[in-house]
């Protein structure tokens, strides 16, 4: 990891796009009318100095959305960008990262015809060993004080309507977020995100 810009550690063009519609990755079932996590629009990310709590809030907000909520994908994205680097240094990069996690406006319109919603079940959230190596190799002043990384592993769930039938799909996901808390900022801020399924371990 030596010599790699830390916030772009595992960043790059994301070539895969979100599923255009609920798929048959799991058996078709009749889900509940709508999952509770998706009913209220974008999930709030609380101001906190606790890095792990902040990381959980970010993960949930990043993967939870509902095309039937009346909100657009850009509004779900904005919640994430709003807790980014307040200096603006990483804002453009973070916004680009977030766009790879959410449906495009065209995909959102298509998903809405299927009343698609999505949420995340977190299995594990931890500081990856590779981050310790990166910290050890970082030059003096390269990392802001209070900067750390969390890798999230879990299951992404989707449900919607295909034709007249309710369908549900799920798949494992993993990613890493880079955040900075005190003493640099009064409360935790999100700097960058890895590509989906390319986490630090």
Average pLDDT per consecutive 10 residues, the chain (201 residues; last block may be shorter): 30 39 44 64 95 98 95 96 96 97 96 94 97 90 94 96 90 98 97 97 92
SS3 sequence, the chain?
CCCCCHHHCCCCCCCCCCCCCCCCCCCCCCCCCCCHHHCCCCCCCCCCCCHHHHHHHHHHHHHCEECCCCCCHHHHHHHHHCCECCCCCCHHHHHHHHHCCCCCHHHHHHHHHCCCEEEEEEEEEECCHHHHHHHHHCCCCCCCCCEEEEEEEEEEEEEEEECCEEEEEEEEEEEEEEEECCCCCCCCEEEEECCCCCCCC
What's the pLDDT score for residue 34? Answer: 67
What's the pLDDT score for residue 164? Answer: 86
Burial state string for 118-141 with b = 16 or more CB within 10 A and e = fewer than 16: bbbeeeeeebbebbeebeeeeeee
What's the pLDDT score for residue 163? Answer: 84
Nearest to 189 by CA among 17, 1, 15, 47: 47
């Amino acid at each position: 990891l030596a010599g790699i810009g830390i916030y772009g550690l595992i960043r790059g063009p994301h070539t895969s796009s979100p599923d255009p519609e609920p798929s048959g990755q799991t058996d078709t079932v009749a889900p509940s009318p709508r999952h509770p996590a998706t009913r209220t629009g974008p999930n709030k990310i609380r101001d906190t100095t606790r890095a792990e709590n902040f990381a959980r809030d970010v993960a949930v907000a990043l993967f939870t959305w509902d095309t039937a909520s009346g909100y657009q994908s850009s509004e779900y994205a904005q919640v994430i960008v709003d807790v980014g680097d307040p200096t603006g240094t990483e804002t453009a990069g973070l916004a680009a990262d977030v766009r790879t996690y959410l449906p495009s406006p065209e995909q959102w319109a298509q998903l809405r015809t299927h009343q698609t919603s999505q949420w995340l079940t977190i299995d594990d959230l931890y500081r990856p060993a590779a981050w310790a190596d990166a910290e050890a190799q970082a030059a003096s002043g390269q990392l802001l004080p209070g900067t750390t990384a969390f890798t999230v592993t879990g299951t992404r769930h989707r449900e919607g309507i295909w034709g007249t039938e309710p369908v549900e799909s799920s798949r494992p996901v993993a990613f890493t977020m880079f955040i900075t808390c005190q003493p640099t900022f009064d409360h935790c801020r999100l700097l960058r995100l890895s590509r989906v399924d390319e986490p630090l371990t």
